[in-house]
Amino acid sequence: VWSLGEGGPEETEKRDDSQRSTLFVEKPQGGTVSVGGNITFIAKVEAKDLLRKPNVKWFKGKWMDLASKAGKHLQLKESFERHTKIHTFEMHIIQAKLNYAGNYRCEVSYKDKFDSCSFDLEVTESSQAAPSIDIRSAFKRSGEGQEDAGELDFSGLLKRREVKQQEEEPEIDVWELLKNANPSEYEKIAFQYGITDLRGMLKRLKRMRREVKKSAAFAKGLDPAYQVDKGGKVRFMVELADPTVELKWYKNGQEIRPSAKYIFEHKGNQRILFINNCSMTDDARYYVTAGDEKCSTELFVRDPPILVTKGLEDTSTYVGERVELSCEVSEDDANVKWFRNGVELPDDPRSRYRIKVEGKKHTLIIEEAAKNDNATYSVMTTGGQSEAKLSVELRPLKISLALQDQTVRLGQEIHLKCEISENVEGKWYKNGQLIEASDRVKLYHKGRIHRFVIASSAVDDEGEYMFVPDAYNINIPCKVHIVDPPKLHLDGLGEGNTVTVVAGSKLRLEIPITGEPTPKVMWSRGDKMITDSGRIRAETYSDSSCLVIDTAEREDSGPFRITLKNEAGQDSALINIKVV
């Protein structure tokens, strides 16, 4: 627990005035928090004149560097705003306790420049019921720098002490959580609730229900468990009722012999074993025998909290680009968890998120970024965390080849083609209606090119077409015009296109016509055009034209010409009228 072994609120060590300069643009301010509450202290440093990130340290009292105390109740964060070129350093105190109060200091240094700011934290007490036993608090070191450093303080588990009433922390009962959880989830729960010695906690809790037996050989036995940081020293001590009894120490059943690593001491009735430079191989069960009696304990060697030494940085990219979010931590191959908007990312080969570890560097990789990858990503270690925002935008779209207006003969192929600067999907529309691919309509997409094909055009294929790339507010339009040369259909006429009519009767000669667009029809007799009125007149419809003669006369006999014209061409024919 980082509050123990603290220094007093002395003044900081003085430095030469030539070394001191103002680096802070915002200094941390003192504050007050209730027991169980959270508080954040913020320091900001401007980076416009700095070639690299400044070095910032947080202290409690005169000498306690809080970087080594980061964990569940203390988190150190840092971020950098590119636009303002401001480094922001934050110290978060979570679920404050009374002994967290005191004088703190933030120091910033860059080459020969140095700045320092002291501030006070006041922790106020609330009147609530006495707190229940905190299982997790048992797994703490009882001192720093003492010869018995590494011993666990289990005294709080043996009896209820009369203490001042303070605000009850709204903590989850981790023991109940572990009892009801699947064993495969133990590690996840331990990481989430800051338990670094899960194995010890489970064993210790089981032993709490056992009755402590009286011993004739040992006036004072070993504690049930000890914890020490890797590289540290631990001290085991027993007190004998009879100092003449032969005593031996064992590790996992093997007798321990004196060496540079294992130091034995005798002080009166006390028998002491020191284990120096503890490593993970020293994490084991130990016991000591005195005659026929045995006293045992567990030693848990703990890795120091993993710190985030280089945080994540806000990143902007384009859709389809490869993204790498990297951070560095204080130890090689450390356990680091990644989160997206607060939800842990699975370390699964099938996931679109890939995690790469290279020593102290941890990288989250997204091979092809998408719009829905916009989020806040964070990493969490046992001693710190860092977060950054990923912004994924559409790359500006350029039209390399626009659609072209087309005039297509009826029955011929319609082929529309466009090319854009990005390889994205898109949709086709005709007169504002979405077009779906079918046996008749083929839609193709290859890379940056999109094509629309109808093998045999029909009259109703004419219209305004448009291609719209997905996710872009842009469209590429064109017009398709279907044409068909005009044609006279004279199959119903007699040989030589001759029509016979009896004098005095009415003639109505209807000639079917086709063409797209609808052709213009002209009737003539010699050089004289026939209009749409009179005894001899022409009547024209969309699919036919009629020559009408009211009360035919012999003088009406002779050739009449019908001519069709549209933009695709023309057609004409002579029709002989014979009045008998």
- What pLDDT, on a 0 to 100 scale, did the predictor assign at position 373? 93
Contact 151, 223 (CB under 8 A): yes
Q: Give the pairing type, strands 414-420 and 449-454.
A: antiparallel
The whole-angstrom separation of Cα 490 and Cα 513 is: 9
How would you class 306 by CB atoms within 10 Å of its CB: exposed for 0-12, middle for 13-18, buried for 19 or more?
Answer: buried
**Quick check: 147 pLDDT over 90?**
no
What is the assigned CATH class of domain 399-484? mainly beta
Lowest mean pLDDT among 79-88, 386-395, 441-450: 79-88
Lowest mean pLDDT among 187-196, 242-251, 291-300: 187-196
- What pLDDT, on a 0 to 100 scale, did the predictor assign at position 330? 87
Q: Mean pLDDT throughout 262-286? A: 91
Cis before 517? omega within 30: yes
Q: How confident is the model at residue 254 (pLDDT cuts 50, 70, 90)?
A: very high
Q: What is the DSSP string of 68-95?
A: GG-SSSEEEEEEEETTTTEEEEEEEE-S
Q: How many CA atoms lie within 13 A of 216 on its CB side?
A: 4
Give backbone dihedrals phi and psi of 302, rounded to 5 degrees, phi first.
Answer: -110, 130
Q: Mean pLDDT throughout 527-539? A: 90
Q: What percent of the chain has pLDDT over 70?
A: 81
**Quick check: 96 pLDDT over 50?**
yes
- What pLDDT, on a 0 to 100 scale, did the predictor assign at position 16? 41
Closest CA to 67 of 230, 303, 305: 305
Lowest mean pLDDT among 159-163, 174-178, 298-302, 341-345: 159-163
Q: How confident is the model at residue 64 (pLDDT cuts 50, 70, 90)?
A: confident
The label of the residue with tokens 């006429």 reads: 493
Q: How confident is the model at residue 178 (pLDDT cuts 50, 70, 90)?
A: low
Alpha helix stretches (DSSP H) within 159-301: 174-180, 186-192, 198-207
Q: How confident is the model at residue 125 (pLDDT cuts 50, 70, 90)?
A: confident
Instruction: Give the rounded distance of the alpha carbon of 113 from its chain centre.
Output: 38
The whole-angstrom separation of Cα 378 and Cα 364 is: 10
Q: How confident is the model at residue 492 (pLDDT cuts 50, 70, 90)?
A: confident
- What pLDDT, on a 0 to 100 scale, did the predictor assign at position 19? 40
The whole-angstrom separation of Cα 120 and Cα 234 is: 34
265 CB-near residues (< 8 Å, 6+ apart): 271, 272, 274
Query: Can you identify the CATH homologous superfamily of domain 24-124?
Result: Immunoglobulins (2.60.40.10)
Kindly report, as residue ranges, where domains of CATH 2.60.40.10 are found in the chain: 24-124, 308-393, 399-484, 489-579
Query: Can you identify the CATH homologous superfamily of domain 308-393?
Result: Immunoglobulins (2.60.40.10)
Q: Give the pairing type, strands 31-34 and 308-310.
A: unpaired
Q: How confident is the model at residue 154 (pLDDT cuts 50, 70, 90)?
A: very low
CA distances from 461 to 420, 454, 514 (A): 25, 9, 17
- What pLDDT, on a 0 to 100 scale, did the predictor assign at position 169? 40
- What pLDDT, on a 0 to 100 scale, did the predictor assign at position 161? 39
Closest CA to 263 of 253, 250, 254, 276: 276
The whole-angstrom separation of Cα 488 and Cα 564 is: 8
Give backbone dihedrals phi and psi of 202, rounded to 5 degrees, phi first.
Answer: -65, -45
Contact 311, 342 (CB under 8 A): no
The whole-angstrom separation of Cα 483 and Cα 568 is: 6
The whole-angstrom separation of Cα 277 and Cα 261 is: 7
The whole-angstrom separation of Cα 361 and Cα 378 is: 14
Q: How confident is the model at residue 365 (pLDDT cuts 50, 70, 90)?
A: very high
SS3 67: helix
Give backbone dihedrals phi and psi of 223, rounded to 5 degrees, phi first.
Answer: -65, 155
- What pLDDT, on a 0 to 100 scale, did the predictor assign at position 179? 59
- DSSP-derived secondary structure letter, 20: B
Q: How confident is the model at residue 259 (pLDDT cuts 50, 70, 90)?
A: very high
Which contiguous run of DSSP H or E holds residue 478? Answer: strand 476-488
Q: What percent of the chain has pLDDT over 90?
A: 41
Summarised one tens digit per residue, pLDDT across range 332-345 is: 888 899 999 989 88
The whole-angstrom separation of Cα 569 and Cα 566 is: 6
- What pLDDT, on a 0 to 100 scale, did the predictor assign at position 197? 60
Strand ranges for 179-307 from DSSP E:
218-220, 225-229, 234-240, 247-251, 254-255, 262-267, 270-275, 284-290, 293-302
Summarised one tens digit per residue, pLDDT across range 450-478 is: 999 999 999 999 999 999 999 888 999 99
Fold designation for 489-579: Immunoglobulin-like (2.60.40)
Q: How confident is the model at residue 389 (pLDDT cuts 50, 70, 90)?
A: very high
